[in-house]
């Protein structure tokens, strides 16, 4: 039985150390008693700063719309614009004719993304025609990164030339 004395001593030491570690793990540090602070005692600015880390904080007077309400308002405004009298529409067209559109082309955008960007900005009206013209001029990979200014209505050739020439 005492042939492997070091083996038995090791097992005994392991059991003792394991029991001590188990006791250490089961003992927890008592948490301090929670301090209750009335909301009225807190400074509104400090409360706003603390909660803004985790939540969006708006003032009580700020109107916040849901997505459905926002869509409804946009639809109403669009309907109002479509209901404009015919005499007033040319004035709007003249204002758009002299308008300036600035588009920022980000790095690593392909030709499809740029055509979508220009379409949404109102610079071009046909994405396929733009893509064809861009390919014809060899500008698919030559689109310059940065701000591009488009003044008034332009044909597609001028738009492509503006995109592939270096900006000063």
Q: Is the separation of the CB atoms in 103 and 123 below 8 Å?
A: yes
pLDDT of the residue at 81: 83
Residues of the chain scoring pLDDT < 50: 168
pLDDT at 21: 92
Virtual torsion, Cα 48, 49, 50, 54, nearest 10 deg: 90
Amino acid 48: pLDDT = 82
pTM > 0.85: no
Residue 152 exposure: Cα atoms within 13 Å on the Cβ side: 4
Nearest one of 147, 161, 153 to 102, comparing CA atoms = 147
């Amino acid at each position: 039985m005492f042939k492997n004395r070091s083996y038995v001593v090791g097992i005994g030491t392991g059991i003792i150390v394991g029991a001590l570690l188990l006791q250490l793990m089961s003992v927890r540090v008592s948490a301090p008693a929670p301090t209750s602070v009335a909301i009225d005692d807190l400074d509104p600015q400090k409360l706003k700063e603390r909660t803004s880390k985790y939540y969006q904080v708006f003032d009580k007077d700020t109107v916040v719309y849901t997505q459905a309400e926002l869509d409804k308002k946009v639809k109403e405004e669009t309907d109002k614009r479509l209901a404009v009298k015919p005499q007033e529409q040319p004035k709007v067209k003249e204002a758009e004719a002299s308008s300036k559109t600035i588009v920022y082309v980000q790095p690593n955008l392909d030709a499809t993304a740029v055509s979508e960007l220009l379409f949404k900005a109102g610079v071009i009206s046909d994405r396929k025609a733009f893509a064809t013209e861009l390919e014809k001029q060899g500008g698919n990979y030559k689109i310059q990164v940065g701000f591009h200014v488009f003044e008034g209505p332009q044909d597609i050739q001028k738009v492509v030339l503006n995109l592939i020439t270096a900006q000063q």
